Structure 1
């Protein structure tokens, strides 16, 4: 394991707060490039939507992006990475988790932090359509946890050449607990409101409502991730309860099994997490490079510019690692 602590990244004086690092990027989104949608039909009757920036030429690699909880191709970090790929004439595509592409999915269940089957379906599809194209993957937050778990499960059989994991909640129980404290509750409320809205829509659906484990009245009481995951996520996805879900879906135990060159990046001040997500040397395989920075917030890592036009360390580091170019 190679551990880097603030070797390349340093927050400017005006962005040292973890909340500035986390919130400012949301408020200063870059332009959304034109994307082409591809729908993948699944064997269970549901679907996955892929949004393509550019399809690969012969032997050209593909950068596949996995967004975080309730994110999409419109998320600030995805937009910036798409723009970076556009500047480099790089083939790139966004994998949307079920229900996150702007259209509700067809089943009572949607997605969760440990769901690697949908990612595998996307990867198999890309390999079938573009057999000569190496697949490079970056996962953010929840998408990073999914990616970590997938890499550890598949090991040498992973359909990925290189990977980057950003701000992943590798210990779901610790992260759920952190989001119930202090200012972090603001982030929890924002995300829970989105999950409650989608859940209410399914509860009221003529066909899906009968398969939902909660009533419309109960949905309003699910005001924390722990409660929501215990009463909705766990029963809809075959877990015995929230503790079973958090234990089986967390990515941390899978880090030691990864065989693909992978960069994992955390900020110690991430308001979504605690030190419990920080792996020890024995928990990481030799193919994993771990970066722990003192600052950076959650999927932030602003390293310059101005408050009106921040500059980011993230995209440079991700692109350079995925493509094997010299470190920034």
Structure 2
């Protein structure tokens, strides 16, 4: 069981919780070990490791959120927490999210599990004595849910945790267009439009956009309608949302999985909260406060990133751990 989340008393506001990590951690906690991982289709993704895995040492793979990366406060913070636990941590960046543009026109989305499968398979072959855990945050959390459902008979991973996953993509797409949440949408779209513009200098067509055109996308729904869906074989954004939302496949998952949601998440609605009984292997945690991937506890003088205690604490029941092992120092 996870220790209950208690926000800083005067920082319960959902938007404050969501934004605080960016202000409290302006630079990554450590410099990672970078590696390029070549994919079966000839493309690549970049990996950011805490260190070189030692024989038999558990490995925890982290999948970031939309337009996220190792530099995201939650990403390098969780990796540092995994290392303190005696594990090796690694961020598998989705295509084009590491700062390097991927080769193919295709990119990534909430239900794209093949790249994760290729990396997990590589880990099993390269480190056969290591147990593997997985953590997905936001979009990466929904992707992890879909992965564990797609490969439920042979997931490779021993346990997983999904933090703030948008398990109903359609509802979340509508929610982020409302009120202050539009600020988050604008922030995400700046990065996504820039990546799309760069791709259009290399490819004649990306989704419904053609080389020479200047993308004028104003909502995440419009991005999914004109880029994500046509680029990855969906009829439209609605088809993509229906096909890739994780809520409907939770009962097919056999791997031990923790899911963490906050009721006040400004990216979500109640539609992401499971209403049907879940299998015993899924530990669902719903907090009153926390915002979107925020969960800042403690006090203003000594703020604490609750996820960095709760997530490795939960995974430790399934992964061998040795606090500050020699290989992690």
The two structures have a TM-score, normalised by structure 2, of 0.92
Cα pair 2:207 2:229 within 8 Å, conserved: no
Cα distance in 1 for partners of 2:143, 2:256 equals 16
1:184 aligns with 2:178: no
Corresponding residue of 2:9: 13
Corresponding residue of 2:243: 248
Distance verdict in 2 for CA 1:124–1:253, change over 3 Å: same
Cα pair 2:247 2:274 within 8 Å, conserved: yes
1:317 aligns with 2:310: yes
Unpaired runs of at least 5, structure 1:
none
1:163 aligns with 2:156: no
1:175 aligns with 2:172: yes
Matches within 5 A, 1:256-295: 256-282=251-277, 284-295=278-289
Structure 1 stretches of at least 4 aligned residues deviating more than 3 Å after TM superposition:
215-218
Cα pair 1:55 1:92 within 8 Å, conserved: no
Secondary structure of the corresponding residue to residue 95 of structure 2: coil
Cα pair 1:262 1:287 within 8 Å, conserved: yes
Cα pair 2:9 2:299 within 8 Å, conserved: no
Cα distance in 1 for partners of 2:40, 2:123 equals 17
Cα distance in 1 for partners of 2:195, 2:94 equals 14
Cα pair 1:36 1:52 within 8 Å, conserved: yes
Corresponding residue of 2:222: 227
Cα distance in 1 for partners of 2:158, 2:314 equals 11
Corresponding residue of 1:110: 107
What do you get for the CA RMSD once the two structures are aligned? 1.7
1:298 aligns with 2:292: yes
Cα pair 1:188 1:225 within 8 Å, conserved: yes
Selected match of 1:209 from 204, 212, 220? 204
Cα distance in 1 for partners of 2:207, 2:153 equals 37
- Residue 218 of structure 1 deviates from its aligned partner by 5.8
Secondary structure of the corresponding residue to residue 186 of structure 1: helix
Cα pair 2:296 2:304 within 8 Å, conserved: yes
Corresponding residue of 2:129: 132
- Residue 181 of structure 1 deviates from its aligned partner by 0.4
Q: Deviations over 1:143-191 (max 9, x none)?
A: 0000000111111310110100000001000000000100000000100
Greater share of residues in helix: 1
Corresponding residue of 1:59: 56
The two structures have a TM-score, normalised by structure 1, of 0.92
Cα pair 2:206 2:227 within 8 Å, conserved: no
Cα distance in 2 for partners of 1:243, 1:38 equals 36
Cα pair 2:8 2:303 within 8 Å, conserved: no
Cα pair 1:140 1:167 within 8 Å, conserved: yes
Corresponding residue of 2:92: 95
- Residue 217 of structure 1 deviates from its aligned partner by 4.6
- Residue 82 of structure 1 deviates from its aligned partner by 1.8
Aligned length: 316
Cα pair 1:99 1:105 within 8 Å, conserved: yes
Secondary structure of the corresponding residue to residue 14 of structure 1: coil
Corresponding residue of 1:74: 71
Distance verdict in 2 for CA 1:119–1:191, change over 3 Å: same
Corresponding residue of 1:25: 21
